């Protein structure tokens, strides 16, 4: 019998490593950047992170694919060769993430970095097949990189897809100027009038319409196609049409808010202006038929400021506050909803059409008497970037990661909205009713209005979870009181 061998069997220790095709960058861009508007939005955010005060977006020949061109230029800090090599050219770099972790803010404007995952540069590849990057740091040479993706994607491996770094005397940023410019051609999509108008909305939604940074400006130019943007209203134009405005905050286990009702012009005798304040509103969470105290302090969320404007979409009411009926309604259809801003800069895609993250439209379907939906509201929730670390953005730029902090945050935001919507809808109903009926017995309406608002606020102060359409019914005058039949279809559609 042969004794067992003491020599161990031969083992093949060859190591395998992943290889990556250059097309992965385009695939990532297609999956993580939903559309061209979001791609431009992400590149503008890069300008904010670079401490720019101005960022210009220029779109030439949008409907002529062979001649179309996108330019995005900022006057930020620019990049030197080290940053270009170690940050821009590294996909999924932790350059900004490290800055966030160490709470390193920008040098000039003390900005907290918006970028985190090192994927925003894929937005350029989403837009076009040829990209020229020109950048210059203060006092440095001008650096130029060109990416021809028709050629790069034919390389066997990503490491073989090299691009040449050019150094030159300043041309784009002469004298003491500095910044970064992207020139994108061979666009992957054509741009029609509707897309350009949506791009205008996306660019202008970057900063909060209520409390935006005063040191950052974004402009959009479409030379030769200015008529495509003609007649677009701004947030300030539309906010002047709101009958009801509200501002306040919630933090830890309590909330408070102030609201103001402004009657339409000529309605001062029928409806009184009103200002109300609600303080020490305790936060609650509803589970089944029971309510439990809600405390956000275990999460890194911080103080959440909010501001809302609400609108009555009744044609008679809108015409009483603006001459541009169609413009106002179109603006609310495109921009209505509740958005979230960090340090005044928008977090996508809260408030986008189709993202009913507070279920306002769903409540309208389930409870038609409440009747308030996203296209009647322009609202913003404001977060402090350094104190809201538990609310983390998804890689695909479609909201926050759905963790416990986000769940409690949305519960509170949703129930806070219910309290305010009940109070405001009572007033909006009366404004719409009076502009249509104009009955001289307005004292009855004013009494009902006041009773309804106080009742809704009492409901809110008692429990956010108990607000419902019952308070709304207090505000609707009976036909016998008004001297005529007031039954009509809902002005809110």
Residue ranges per structural domain of the chain: 23-225, 236-482
**For residue 356, cis peptide bond before it (omega within 30 degrees of 0):** no
Best CA proximity match to 100, nearest among 326, 385, 311, 364: 385
Higher pLDDT among residues 217 and 490, named by residue: 217
| Separation of alpha carbons 317 and 211, rounded Å | 27
Measured distance between the N- and C-terminal CA atoms of the chain, rounded to whole angstroms: 94
User: How far lies 127's CA from each of 172, 233, 235, in Å?
Assistant: 22, 27, 27
Whole-number pLDDT of residue 117:
55
Q: How confident is the model at residue 483 (pLDDT cuts 50, 70, 90)?
A: very low
Q: With beta carbons less than 8 A apart as the criterion, state whether 22 and 155 touch.
A: yes
Q: What is the pLDDT of residue 33?
A: 81
**According to the model, what pLDDT value does residue 54 have?**
95
Query: 480 vs 243, which has greater pLDDT?
Result: 243
pTM: 0.77
Give pLDDT tens digits for 346-399.
Answer: 998 898 888 888 877 755 544 444 456 788 888 899 999 889 989 988 877 788
Name the H helices within 261-401: 315-321, 325-335, 360-366
Cis peptide before 349 (omega within 30 of 0): yes
The answer to whether 215 touches 53, Cβ cutoff 8 Å, is: yes
What mean pLDDT do residues 227-255 have?
Answer: 87
Task: Tell me, rounded to whole angstroms, the distance of Cα 478 from its chain centroid.
Answer: 41
Q: What is the pLDDT of residue 455?
A: 44
CATH class of 23-225: alpha beta
Q: Are 20 and 330 within 8 A, CB to CB? A: no
CB 74 within 8 A of CB 106: no
DSSP sequence for 189-239: S---HHHHHHHHHHHHTSB-SSS--TT-EEEEE-TT-GGGGTTPPPHHHHH
Return the structure tokens found at 99: 């800055």
> What value does the mean pLDDT take over residues 197-209?
86
Strand partners of residue 250: 255, 304
- What pLDDT band is residue 423 in, cutting at 50, 70 and 90? low
**DSSP string spanning 254-286?**
EEEEEEEE-PPTT-TTTS--EEEEEEEEE-EEE
Whether 170 shows a pLDDT value over 90: the answer reads: yes
CA distance 253 to 250: 8
Q: Per-residue pLDDT tens for 289-329?
A: 888 888 899 999 999 999 988 888 888 888 888 888 888 89
pLDDT score recorded for residue 281: 80
Q: Are strands 128-136 and 337-342 parallel, antiparallel or unpaired?
A: unpaired
Residues across the chain: 493
Q: How many CB atoms lie within 10 A of CB 3?
A: 5
Contacts with 340 (C-beta within 8 Å, 6 or more apart), sequence order: 346, 347, 350, 351, 380, 381, 382, 383
Q: What is the pLDDT of residue 404?
A: 92
pLDDT on residue 10? 66
Q: In the structure encoding, which two tokens stand for residue 270, read together?
A: 């029928």
Residue 4: pLDDT band by 50, 70, 90 thresholds?
Answer: low
Looking at the chain, the whole-number percentage of residues with pLDDT higher than 90 is 27
Closest CA to 335 of 359, 358, 310, 353: 353
pLDDT tens figures, 452-463? 444 444 444 443
């Amino acid at each position: 019998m042969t004794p067992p061998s003491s020599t161990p069997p031969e083992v093949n220790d060859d190591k395998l490593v992943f290889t990556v095709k250059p097309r992965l960058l385009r695939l990532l861009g297609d999956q993580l950047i939903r559309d061209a508007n979001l791609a431009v939005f992400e590149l503008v955010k890069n300008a904010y992170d670079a401490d720019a005060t101005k960022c210009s977006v220029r779109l030439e020949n949008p409907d002529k694919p062979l001649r179309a061109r996108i330019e995005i230029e900022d006057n930020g800090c620019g990049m030197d060769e080290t940053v270009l090599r170690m940050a821009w050219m590294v996909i999924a770099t932790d350059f900004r993430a490290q800055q966030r972790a160490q709470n390193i803010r920008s040098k000039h404007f003390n900005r907290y970095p918006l970028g985190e995952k090192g994927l925003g540069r894929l937005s350029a590849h989403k837009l076009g097949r040829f990209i020229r990057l020109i950048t210059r740091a203060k006092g440095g040479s001008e650096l130029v990189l060109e990416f021809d993706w028709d050629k790069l994607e034919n390389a066997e491996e990503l490491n073989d897809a090299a691009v040449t770094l050019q150094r030159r005397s300043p041309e784009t940023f002469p004298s003491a100027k500095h910044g970064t410019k992207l020139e994108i051609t061979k666009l992957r999509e054509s741009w029609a009038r509707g897309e350009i108008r949506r791009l205008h909305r996306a660019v202008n939604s970057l900063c909060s319409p209520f409390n935006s940074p005063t040191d950052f400006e974004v402009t959009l130019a479409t030379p030769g196609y200015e008529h495509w943007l003609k007649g677009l209203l701004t947030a300030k134009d539309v906010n002047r049409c709101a009958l009801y405005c509200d501002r306040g905050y919630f933090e830890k286990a309590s909330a408070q808010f102030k609201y103001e009702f402004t009657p339409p012009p000529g309605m001062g005798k029928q409806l009184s202006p009103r200002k109300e304040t609600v303080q020490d509103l305790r936060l609650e969470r509803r589970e089944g038929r029971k309510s439990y105290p809600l405390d956000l302090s275990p999460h890194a969320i911080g103080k959440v400021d909010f501001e809302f404007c609400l609108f009555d979409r009744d044609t008679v009411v809108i015409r009483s506050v603006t001459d541009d009926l169609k413009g106002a309604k179109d603006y609310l259809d495109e921009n209505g909803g509740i958005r979230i801003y960090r340090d005044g800069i928008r977090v996508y895609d809260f408030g986008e059409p189709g993202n009913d993250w507070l279920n306002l439209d769903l409540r309208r379907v389930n409870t038609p008497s409440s009747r308030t939906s996203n296209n009647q509201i322009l609202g913003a929730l404001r977060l402090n970037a350094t104190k809201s670390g538990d609310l983390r953005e998804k890689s695909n730029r479609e909201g926050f990661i759905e963790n416990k902090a986000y769940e409690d945050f949305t519960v509170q935001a949703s129930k806070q909205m219910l309290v305010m919507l009940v109070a405001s809808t009572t007033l909006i109903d009366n404004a719409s009713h009076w502009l249509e009926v104009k009955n001289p017995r307005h004292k009855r309406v004013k009494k009902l209005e006041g009773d309804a608002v106080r009742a809704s606020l009492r409901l809110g102060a008692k429990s956010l979870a108990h607000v419902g359409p019952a308070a709304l019914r207090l505000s609707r005058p009976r036909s016998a009181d008004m001297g005529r039949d007031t039954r009509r279809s809902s002005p809110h559609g």
